Amino acid sequence: MGLERSPGADRLSVRSALFALGFRPFYLLAALFAAIAVPAWVADLAGYGWPAGYLDGLAWHQHEMVFGFVLAVIAGFLLTAARVWTGRPTLSGLPLALLAAHWLAARVLMITGPGWLGALVDGAFPFVLAAVLARVIVGARNARNYFVPALLAVLGLADACFHLSTLGLIEAPASLAVQGSLYLIVILLIVMAGRVVPAFTASALPQAKLRRSAALDRAALALSVIALLCALAGLDGWLTAAPAFAAAALHAARQAGWAPLATRGRPLLWILHLSHAWIPLGFVLLGLAAFGIVIGAAALHAFAVGAVSGTIVGMITRTALGHTGRPLTAGRAETAAYVLVLAAAVLRVAAALILAAYLPLVIASAALWSAAFLVYFAAYAPRLARPRLDGKPG
């Protein structure tokens, strides 16, 4: 009798586990927000109206996909990874709950306004997150990862520019800040993919013959930066197309060396390989857009929905499994989420290429996207709300 736990103790355990480490609340919030936000924007696109607030539907969609959804995933990942990198504790318990509440308050205010308050609360979040991570990373003198708080500060500055433009305080297109932030995230993804995709593949498939080249990685990164900067500057023709096509070829070449075909039957691996394959495709579309052959939205959504979102769904399943003490094996829920996100990417890019069927393709893409993240939320909410299976902290 003395060893029995009361129902109140069980509730406390669940509550404590939810805020034990950053990935738990932020992955769940990001997934639920993703499942709701895209259909909400598509409803506005289809003419069902948008609640009067700070932003119109399109501006809200552009901003919230980057500074709402993606930044929540980044927050969860970095708050978890920083503890591994430094051996020091990151936010947990009430401080972590307050940071998650800050993010959530920003999402509400970005719809309801008032504009100045939404701008203030939302614009502060990247800087608060940067300060939290700087305290851990710089405090541990983990020089290799000093770029992390710096990167978050740059995203914060871009977010500030978006709000200042929207409020009419500076003369610059608000969409440019979102586009630049997306491109920065793509560059981060290129660097990260070069490290983790071949490493995960080699670890799980030691018999696979991988080829890696540091020189190829550096060249692909350099041309990617040039191409994206040219696109951001609005340069047309070969000025953007030449580096974009070259970047596409180099990314395809480096991925070919990672033995992608060997990952068949391993969903935790093939989702990362297929998501990375959207990067060279995105650069091809970027080059074609520079000549006016396709619209720029095709490249943007190849990067955003295909590469970034595909990698996100692959990583938030993999890291959640590992950090809850579960085997690194994808089940039906994970595989379904992967297939749904990749199918959503195909249809969303197709919508930008086949304008005659734009709205039906966008609606279908949104439905698949929403379903993918609802599957994740349903499968992982119970797991992330409970303590690790192996009894370890985190």
- Looking at the chain, the whole-number percentage of residues with pLDDT higher than 90 is 88
Residue 144 pLDDT > 80, yes or no? Answer: yes
User: What is the spatial distance between Cα 200 and Cα 211, in angstroms, rounded to a whole number?
Assistant: 14
Tell me, what's the pLDDT at 50? 74
Tell me, what's the pLDDT at 3? 33
The H-assigned helical ranges of the chain are 7-18, 23-45, 57-63, 71-86, 93-112, 115-139, 147-166, 174-204, 214-232, 238-256, 267-290, 296-301, 310-323, 332-353, 358-385
- CA angle 7/13/15 to nearest 5° reads 105
Tell me, what's the pLDDT at 297? 96
User: What is the spatial distance between Cα 118 and Cα 129, in angstroms, rounded to a whole number?
Assistant: 17
pLDDT digits (tens, 9 = 90+) for 147-186: 999 999 999 999 999 999 999 999 989 999 999 999 999 9
Residue 194 pLDDT > 60, yes or no? Answer: yes
Where are the chain's structural domains?
11-196, 209-388
Task: Tell me the one-letter amino acid at 135.
Answer: R
Q: Which two tokens stand for residue 114?
A: 């008032």
User: What is the spatial distance between Cα 164 and Cα 39, in angstroms, rounded to a whole number?
Assistant: 27
pLDDT digits (tens, 9 = 90+) for 226-272: 999 999 999 999 999 999 999 999 999 999 999 999 999 999 999 99
Helices 332-353 and 310-323, axial angle in degrees (round to 10)? 160
* Cα radius of gyration rounded to whole Å, the chain: 21
pLDDT grade for 105, boundaries at 50, 70 and 90: very high
User: What is the spatial distance between Cα 110 and Cα 74, in angstroms, rounded to a whole number?
Assistant: 19
**Alpha-carbon separation of residue 200 from 74, 86, 178, 196 (angstroms):** 20, 21, 31, 6
**Alpha-carbon separation of residue 77 from 12, 205, 285 (angstroms):** 24, 25, 29
Residue 47: which region, alpha, beta or left (left: phi > 0; alpha: psi -120 to 50)? left
Residue with the larger pLDDT of the pair 9 and 247: 247
Q: 348-361 in b/e burial notation, b at 16+ Cβ within 10 A?
A: bbbbbbeeeeeeeb
